[in-house]
Every structure is written in C-alpha cells, then in structure tokens.
Amino acid sequence: MRQRQQSKDTKAKLAPKQKISYEKKTDPALTEYAVQSLNWLRQAEFLMSAPKLALCVEDTGYEIAFAGRSNAGKSSAINALTNQKQLARASKKPGRTQMINFFSLGNPDQRLVDLPGYGYAAVPEAMKIVWQKELENYLIHRKSLQGLVLLMDIRHPLQHFDLMMLEWAHSRHLFVHILLTKADKLNRGPANKTLLEVKQQLKKMKLDFSIQLFSSLNRIGLEELSSVMAGRLNYTLEQPSEFDLNEIPEVSETDIEE
Ligand code: GDP
C-alpha cells in the first residue's frame, strides 16, 4: 500500500504539469462580426454639427447617439472605436461643444452622433437650460435615432444626468447600451463588482438595458461595443456568398453505386 502510494507520488512529480486553460471560448462567427464591425466603424467621417433638431441632417436611416457627463470619456471612446485620433475633436472645437455632432459610418444613412457632454462648468446656467431643451427635443422627436450609448465613469455611475437619460430612453422605447468607462482605473475584481451592482440597480428600476466594461486606454470592450453598434445600425457583413453552385461536382453513376 505504502509502496503504491510512493510510486503514485513519484509519478505525480515526474508527470509534466498540464496547463488548464480558463480562457473563454468565443464563437468564431461572433469574433468575425466584431472584427468586420470595427473595420466598418473606421470609415467614420465628420458630417456636420447642429445647434438644434431643425438643423440636423435629414432624419433618414439609422443613428446611435453617444451621451455622457462631461469628462466621462466620450471623445476618447469615439476615437478608439473609430481608430481616428482626431475624430471626436471635431465635436470639441470651440462652438461645437454644445452642438449635436454627426458622423457617417461609410454611408450617410448609418450614423454615430456625439451629443454635447453634460455638465461643462464653463457653460452659463441659462445656456445649460436651453441646451437641455434641445437635447430633449432631439431624443423625443428624432425618428432615425435607434438608441443611446451612455457613458459613465466606472467610479461614478448612475448620476442624476444618467438617470435622466435612462428615463427618456425608456419612455421612448429606445435601447441603451451602457459603458462603464475608464475600467482600467480599477482592478478586475472591483470593476466586475461595480458592473454587477449597476446591473442590479437597473433590474430594480425595471430597465432592460445592456452594459459592459470599457477602457479606451487599454481597449477593453471595443469588440463588444462595435458588435452592438453594427447590430443596431443594421450593418451586414460584406462577405461574398461562400456557396457556389458551379463548385459542386456532378454525381456520376459510379458514385451512386459506391
Ligand atoms: P469627454 O469629456 O467625455 O469627451 O472625455 P474625454 O474623452 O475627453 O476624457 C476625459 C479625461 O479622461 C481625459 O483626461 C482622458 O485622457 C481620460 N480618459 C478617457 N478615457 C480613459 C480611459 O479609458 N482610461 C483612463 N485611465 N483615462 C481615460
């Protein structure tokens, strides 16, 4: 018995340690979709800025608006997503910070919209009220608006502005996809804990919205976001059909006999 135990121990010592992989298996089709979506989003081009709904680009096709309190990381997220360092700077040019900024995604009928960051200290109170009214107008009346990507700093989620946006979106039956930004600021444990807590709060409020971790700095969550964008904007993969009738060999009589 002792001998058997000993040989078992030696065997264990001699046996090469097997690495157990905890890596999550991803669906290859989904990954392909994410990669193509990212390539597609890289075609983003600045279209125009509008101070109010009446002056926006024509209300056709589909658009998704990015919203967040100022400093939530919205410009960095748009730049990371479109892989263009300067793109969202267009929205930050003097005079454009309080405007609705439109970007086409390879096609003027598929758009990303950068809404003004809420809470700029430099903006006088009266202007903030005017702007809030314009934002409300846009959110309520814009037909091509499919939904929102709402950005919240992971260290300060669900502030007053965020709750207001969630309520508006819910009342208009728009989807909301929440990004907990700057996820790199927290370790993985606390970041996942916050993710779970915010999910629970949404559930309590009976809001069926999607949410993910995001970091422009180390590119956490880019694929997930690009897939959501592509899916919601009706982007279809540009793949030639792999099925070609001419490629099928004709069946001969001998084939059937075999
Ligand atoms: P916006 O006002 O919402 O457009 O925010 P910005 O994109 O301008 O970002 C505000 C600040 O947060 C800047 O100093 C950025 O460098 C920083 N920031 C943005 N995204 C990230 C991120 O993913 N990680 C970290 N650590 N900082 C970020």
- Report the pLDDT value the prediction gives residue 132, as an integer from 0 to 100: 82
Measured torsion, CA atoms of residues 233, 238, 242, 245, in degrees rounded to the nearest 10: 100
Query: Residue 190 above 50 pLDDT?
Result: yes
pTM to 2 decimal places: 0.81
* 3-state SS assignment for residue 61: coil
State in Å: Cα 67 to ligand 1 middle: 14
Find the mean pLDDT for residues 82-105: 78
State in Å: Cα 217 to ligand 1 middle: 8
State in Å: Cα 18 to ligand 1 middle: 42
Between 20 and 73, residue with greater pLDDT: 73
Q: Which residues line ligand 1 (CB under 6 A)?
A: 68, 70-76, 117, 181-182, 184-185, 215-217
The per-residue DSSP string of 92-158 comes to: HSTTTTTSEEEEEESSTTEEEEEPPPBT-TTS-HHHHHHHHHHHHHHHHH-TTEEEEEEEEETTS-S
Sheet holding 100-105, edge to edge: 44-50, 100-105, 110-114, 62-68, 145-153, 175-181, 210-213
Q: Which of 62-66, 155-159, 188-192, 250-254 has the lowest mean pLDDT?
A: 250-254
Query: Residue 20 above 50 pLDDT?
Result: no
**Which domains are delineated in the chain?**
28-236 (3.40.50.300)
For residue 152, give both structure tokens: 């919240």
Between 29 and 186, residue with greater pLDDT: 186
- Report the pLDDT value the prediction gives residue 240, as an integer from 0 to 100: 46
Q: Which of 60-64, 199-203, 215-219, 252-256 has the lowest mean pLDDT?
A: 252-256
